[in-house]
Amino acid sequence: MDGTKEKLLDRLIAVIGEEARLFEQFLGLLEHQQKMLIIGDGPELQTVNGQLQTVVAQSQRIEKERSEAVEAIRALGGMDADVTIARICEMADAERSLQLKNLREIILGLYGRIEETRMRNGLLVEQSLELIQHTLETMGRVPAHRETYQHHGGRTAEYVPLGIDRRV
């Protein structure tokens, strides 16, 4: 293997390693976000959301670097447009191939955990919104403490809206 391929493969390994580090950081922030959703710490939740946005921006930059590294390897190796880590591993020496395979497994594992945590956080947000909606509806149905007659002489409590602005 000539020096150019080795340098490109080393660059790809470094970029994928950085992606894995960002995925781990993202997962940690999602787990922290989950805790803040459960305990209802709004200010800390906003801080975590800002940190998540920063990690996403870094991830987009790293993804671009990975795409450029893969494209350079594809062009150098004369590969068609469908380049996978498995195909890159075939052209790499044993050590680099093992590193790429390990990084691939790490990223796939992290991605699965990230998706699971994101889904849980989404459900927590949905539950929170439902509870808020229920509370607003309950507050809007507070009895006015006056009874009115129904058609057949029965009594019913009259509900008076409290004038709550429900636009959120």
**Model pLDDT, residue 1:** 44
**Model pLDDT, residue 21:** 96
pLDDT in tens, 51-98: 999 999 999 999 999 999 998 988 887 777 778 888 888 888 899 999
**Model pLDDT, residue 74:** 86
DSSP assignment string, 28-53: HHHHHHHHHHHHT-HHHHHHHHHHHH
Given a cut of 50, the residues of the chain with pLDDT beneath it are 1
pTM: 0.74
What domains sit in the chain, N to C, each tagged with a CATH number?
3-159 (1.20.58.300)
**Ramachandran region, residue 145 (left: φ > 0; alpha: ψ -120 to 50; beta: rest):** left
**Model pLDDT, residue 63:** 93
